[in-house]
Structure 1
Amino acid sequence: MTTSARPAQPAGTAPVARPRRLLDVRTVYAEPAALALPRGQQVVARWPEAEVVEVASALRIPAVHGDDASVERWVRTKTEVLALGVRKSMAARKNDRSANWIAPSLSNGCAMACAYCYVPRHKGYANPITVYANSDDVVGYLQRHVARQGVKPGPDQCDPAAWVYDIGENSDASVDAVVSDNVRDLVAAFARMPTAKASFATKHVNRDLLTYDPRGRTRVRFSVMPERMAKLVDVRTDPVRERIAAVDDFVEAGYEVHLNLSPVIVHEGWLQEWAELLAQLDDALSPRSKTQCAAEVIFLTHNAGLHEVNLGWHPKGEEALWRPDVQEAKRSHNGMENVRYRARWKAVWVQRLLDLIAERTPWLTVRYAF
């Protein structure tokens, strides 16, 4: 690991405004190949005071991911550290749940700190943003992959007509757009693909995205949950009321906007809290937003390893998330050993929430629930 000379700032590039609450970058750990690319230089230029440290791998930084003391600096690391790498593998993974395909991501990790997030389960003791500088390679791969699919033969739960590609499985694209132009590139690319859509879930209202030109080919999924629980476990995210207030603006800007009702966390009084949230949605959204809206309902999945990490920085949240009295082991579709609500009880709870949605927000189509 060596400290690198800062690369020359690309012509016409200047530091941009960014939310200091989320990002006040002091150190950029960078693969040399990423520093040689224009996008890598753009990222470094946005934090001109940050130290640039060369590393062999942006996903395996001993001082960040391998140090168990990093748990105590969980939020501080997310604020002050970026990793910069080059995406080496290109593969779109079949999904057919939220999206037809999971796109090769242009980032990994997040500046926000949702206590239930599955991404840190893979990374050790810290989970800052890792951004990939070879955006042209990823965009080119996706263009070829979409072309090979041809016209979608019929509707499915992902979309009536378009192949849907999730571009933010391991990150929050609204925050990624603060770091670089990778998200802008993806939105622009899908705007030119008549048979496909990009899709990403977010808990951050980045109004810079309203200046993009999505042409209806990017689906933004605002994640919402009852405010009281969000204050406990949605650490560093924008308030739920602000996410709801942004829906109409994003629809007007040319995005398709859906809702992620997730995660659903069961506790005493949980269903009443969801009834209040549904009433808030019904009052806030315009008729146009309601007409094009749909939702995913996702009950909490947790993980023993993440539970142990969380105890080191946010034990209060684990009182709601780690409930052995109502949870059981499960192997998720990605092969991970996790815990979920016991299947017999969960089936009842899912149906109760679906019945509530049908009663309180009949305009809201549920694409799937699990």
Structure 2
Amino acid sequence: MSAVPADRLLQIDTIYLEPAATELARGQQVLARFPDARLVEVGSHWQIPELHGNAGNVADWNRIKRTHLVLGTLKSPRIRPNGRSSDFIAPSQANGCTMSCAYCYVPRRKGYANPITVFANIDQLLRATERHIARQGVKATPNQCDPRDWVYDIGENSDCSVDALISDNVRDYVELFARTDGAKASFATKAVNRELLDWDPRGGTRVRFSLMPRDLSRLLDVRTDPVGERIAAIDDFVAAGYEVHVNLSPVVVHEGWLEAWDELLGELDAGVGAAAKAQLAAEVIFLTHNEQLHEVNLGWHPRAEAVLWTPGTQERKRSQSGGLNVRYRSGWKGARVRELLALIERRTPWLRVRYAF
């Protein structure tokens, strides 16, 4: 069972659906999972006026994420280069999330309410990924993503641990990479779905448990599994055949932040065994926030903005998509990165940092 019961995260009473999705086996599986849901036909998962761009949804943010689902198809599966966390971004098997982390960038793309969208054309997505892997050939040069395998992120826009409660899309991806030499799936998660322990990943999937200090997580990681439960799951996932890494992210700088990270690293050191430590690695990602998301958050979770929106330490940056992001000022941030890396080296010298920014 998942650490947080599925019926707490998902109480689906409304499904917006593209007709084409209902003709596919995966679409039918999702509908069978929620037989009592009200069905609303839509032309596109991108164009649902009641959800996307409706400022009136701010007060209902969490309810909508819990009770609404979208069933669609990903019209043009694309594999994009990444180069930081993974070599490539695989076609998304889902978009959106039932959890409500206050810093999450995904809601910026679809507006005020972004519940999970499940893509029913999973066979097409898997074929596109397999063809791309075949074209890469053997990875000749090790890099920070992996020394041997091409790494494909399968959860860029969702949390795969929760997606797996809805359909077999994630399992299909895990099974693809379990049988494919020279390539590896990867996804970050803030949920502990122990049903994944019954699968057979054969080392072909990297699960990255996202961690931050407990008190900050209680404030910012809304509707996620507690950090302690994520740490407690690491040994079990390693034993089940997954590669396990940790995402130390986002790093939010506030009064006492370094002491809080010291405590968290101590919990991690005490909470995992030798087998996990031998293969654990970390990504360290400092907070990037967004002006539009800041305004949205003020409508449902203003306490979070007290630590996320700190103009005195942040600078604006225009994103590639045209959004106005804010990040910690470059020189000031560099000093904080060095402080945290020194702490990691001192507190958990066994924890290799793949990259920090």
TM class, shorter-chain normalised? over 0.9
Q: Indicate the percent of aligned positions where both proteins have the same amino acid.
A: 63
Query: Once the 2 structures are TM-superposed, how far is the Cα of residue 66 of structure 1 from its aligned partner?
Result: 3.3
Give the aligned partner of residue 244 of structure 2.
257
Which of the residues 163, 169, 174 maps onto 1:187? 174
Q: Deviations over 1:159-178 (max 9, x none)?
A: 01000000000000000001
Q: Deviations over 1:20-72 (max 9, x none)?
A: 21100000000000011110011011111111111001122111113211111
Give the aligned partner of residue 236 of structure 1.
223
CA contact (8 A) 1:59 1:130 kept: no
CA–CA distance in structure 1, aligned partners of residues 142 and 133 of structure 2: 17
Give the aligned partner of residue 302 of structure 2.
315
Which of the residues 217, 233, 246 maps onto 2:204? 217
Q: Deviations over 1:83-112 (max 9, x none)?
A: 000111121111100000011101100000
Give the aligned partner of residue 49 of structure 2.
62
Give the aligned partner of residue 30 of structure 2.
43
CA–CA distance in structure 2, aligned partners of residues 112 and 306 of structure 1: 15
CA–CA distance in structure 2, aligned partners of residues 66 and 233 of structure 1: 23
CA–CA distance in structure 1, aligned partners of residues 324 and 80 of structure 2: 20
- TM-score (normalised: structure 1): 0.94
Which of the residues 41, 46, 52 maps onto 2:39? 52
Give the aligned partner of residue 150 of structure 2.
163
CA–CA distance in structure 2, aligned partners of residues 334 and 215 of structure 1: 37
Question: Which of 348-357 and 64-73 deviates more?
Answer: 64-73
Query: Once the 2 structures are TM-superposed, how far is the Cα of residue 122 of structure 1 from its aligned partner?
Result: 1.0
CA contact (8 A) 1:327 1:342 kept: yes
CA contact (8 A) 1:18 1:178 kept: no
Q: How does 1:294-313 map to 2 (within 5 A)?
A: 294-313=281-300
CA–CA distance in structure 1, aligned partners of residues 283 and 21 of structure 2: 36
CA contact (8 A) 2:72 2:118 kept: yes
Give the aligned partner of residue 283 of structure 1.
270
CA–CA distance in structure 2, aligned partners of residues 158 and 336 of structure 1: 27
CA contact (8 A) 2:142 2:148 kept: yes
Q: How does 1:9-48 map to 2 (within 5 A)?
A: 19-48=6-35
CA contact (8 A) 1:29 1:83 kept: yes
Query: Once the 2 structures are TM-superposed, how far is the Cα of residue 331 of structure 1 from its aligned partner?
Result: 3.5
Output the amino acid matched with 2:29. Answer: Q
CA contact (8 A) 1:90 1:104 kept: yes
The 1:244/1:18 distance shift into structure 2, 3 A limit, reads closer
Query: Are positions 1:358 and 2:326 aligned together?
Result: no
Output the amino acid matched with 2:208. Answer: R
Query: Once the 2 structures are TM-superposed, how far is the Cα of residue 333 of structure 1 from its aligned partner?
Result: 6.0
Query: Are positions 1:89 and 2:89 aligned together?
Result: no
CA–CA distance in structure 1, aligned partners of residues 289 and 238 of structure 2: 32
**Structure possessing the higher relative contact order (Cα contacts under 8 Å, 6 or more residues apart):** 2
Q: How does 1:130-209 map to 2 (within 5 A)?
A: 130-209=117-196
CA–CA distance in structure 2, aligned partners of residues 96 and 192 of structure 1: 23
CA–CA distance in structure 2, aligned partners of residues 207 and 217 of structure 1: 17
Query: Once the 2 structures are TM-superposed, how far is the Cα of residue 125 of structure 1 from its aligned partner?
Result: 1.3
Matched pairs, number = 354
CA–CA distance in structure 2, aligned partners of residues 222 and 332 of structure 1: 26
- Runs of at least 5 residues in structure 2 that lack an aligned partner in the other structure: none
Query: Once the 2 structures are TM-superposed, how far is the Cα of residue 330 of structure 1 from its aligned partner?
Result: 1.8
Give the aligned partner of residue 8 of structure 1.
none
- Runs of at least 5 residues in structure 1 that lack an aligned partner in the other structure: 1-16
Query: Once the 2 structures are TM-superposed, how far is the Cα of residue 154 of structure 1 from its aligned partner?
Result: 1.6
- TM-score (normalised: structure 2): 0.98
Q: How does 1:113-124 map to 2 (within 5 A)?
A: 113-124=100-111
Query: Once the 2 structures are TM-superposed, how far is the Cα of residue 320 of structure 1 from its aligned partner?
Result: 0.8
Output the amino acid matched with 2:245. Answer: H
SS of aligned partner of 1:64: coil
CA–CA distance in structure 2, aligned partners of residues 119 and 56 of structure 1: 22
Q: How does 1:94-105 map to 2 (within 5 A)?
A: 94-105=81-92
Query: Once the 2 structures are TM-superposed, how far is the Cα of residue 18 of structure 1 from its aligned partner?
Result: 5.9
CA–CA distance in structure 2, aligned partners of residues 335 and 192 of structure 1: 39
Q: Deviations over 1:336-364 (max 9, x none)?
A: 43100011110000000000000010100
Query: Are positions 1:108 and 2:95 aligned together?
Result: yes
